[in-house]
Amino acid sequence: MQHLFLHIQARKNRAQAGFTLVELMVSLALFIIVVLALIGSLYTVNDASRKVQAMRTVMDNLNFAMESISRTVRTSEGITCSGVGSFNCPIDGSGSIEIAMNSTLGERQKVEYRWNTVDKSVEKKTTNLDNAGLPTGVSTSWQAITSPEISVDHMVFYVDGADPLDKKQPNVAVQLDGVASVPNGSPIPFSIQTYLSQRTPE
């Protein structure tokens, strides 16, 4: 009887026994591995999200620059292909890295856009005009409208129909190529081509 009692007591003691030290260490090691894997995954996802957001900001800036050019061309008058000595620089020619026009939005201004081949940026300059369309002498300096993260490797303007004697509606073709960079990311190339026309012929 006493032997049976001791056997039952031994089984009861074994049932109440906890984890051994080795089991605790193994469990803790597995837990740490899982946590580290989750932290690594979260870091990777967060880093990818930051890169996507940064690239979206850069591309939004590029879209803003192109929209500025497009809006000014469509609502302007007196478009000229600056620096080539004539109104037109058609697509079958070499084009120009600079374009000028008289804006009809708000204050009368001469608006110029150009590709800065040194800084690899798109720049804008405005000059106030009087009621006769002549410069008043008040103008801004050339200002970049693209962010430093955007490197414009090639930009050209083609203008046709700008000569008042040809009685055609002026139109402008723009070609823009370059790369956009984000911190800790690979540069992403881009190529933009657009064709713009004035809303009404001169």
Lookup: tokens for 133: 């369309």
Tell me the backbone φ, ψ of residue 130, rounded to 5 degrees. Answer: -85, -175
pTM of the model: 0.72
Residue 26: the pLDDT is 84
Percentage of residues in the chain having pLDDT higher than 90: 19
Of the candidates 66, 17, 99, 72, the residue with the CA atom closest to the CA atom of residue 198: 72
> In sequence order, which ranges of 16-155 are alpha helices (DSSP H)?
21-74
Average pLDDT over residues 75-81: 86
Residue 152: the pLDDT is 92
Residue 15: the pLDDT is 53
Reported as a single tens digit per residue, the pLDDT across 22-60 is: 778 888 888 888 888 888 888 777 777 777 777 787 788
**Cα-based distances in Å from 168 to 29, 165, 200:** 79, 8, 10
Reported as a single tens digit per residue, the pLDDT across 118-162 is: 999 999 999 888 877 777 777 889 999 998 888 999 999 999 888
Q: What gap in Å lies between CA 195 and CA 9, rounded to an integer?
A: 93
Q: What gap in Å lies between CA 176 and CA 188, rounded to an integer?
A: 14
